[in-house]
A and B are shown apart, each in its own frame.
Chain A
């Protein structure tokens, strides 16, 4: 029973390039959440998605960042024209979404480094 799968584990980009981070939720989970963790800090909520719907993007910067969770395939967090400040660990979590508050289980994260 595979857990939340994220790839790549490490991603290096130069300033101005695009970064694409992928997340496949646990089997049977239909809700996906993205969080960002700066070094030595806590996790900050970015966006909450269900299949083909963005439910809450209140934590995501308005510019350069976008997220999707298509009907088929993984959820994608996309960062355009990356800057040094985007360097962080990006974690994806998933939950069953069966109604009521369900535990969120995290993937191993993608560590993004901007040169």
Chain B
């Protein structure tokens, strides 16, 4: 079945630095890739998503890139702030099933 791998599992950066999280998916039919941020004890919050008809999408300090040939996509956070500290999950989905297959998560810590 569909599988999504996510790296790294933990990431520590200094405030102001950039953070990059990478995911690889197995099902070439996947065509929707959201990213969620989850703070401790809270709900997963959608922060950005990308569809397979585009290669890059940006929203202020957050950007996502997609390489369909290699079947991987990445989250880029620039000018990190302590409030960016959380667990980030990537996911993949395709149109005939709608279900999200999640990666295992990346715990990001931003030190002041």
User: A: which residues have CB within 8 A of B?
Assistant: 31, 33, 35, 41-45, 48, 55-56, 58-59, 91, 93, 95, 100-101, 103-109
Contacts and interface: CB of A to CB of B under 8 A. Distances in A.
B43 to A, nearest CB: 4
Chain B interface residue number, banded: 20 to 34
B95 A101 contact: yes
A35 B31 CA distance: 20
B44 interface: yes
B45 interface: yes
A44 B99 contact: no
Contact of B98 (A41, A42, A56): A56
B46 A104 contact: yes
Contact of B43 (A31, A44, A55, A106): A106
A95 B31 CA distance: 17
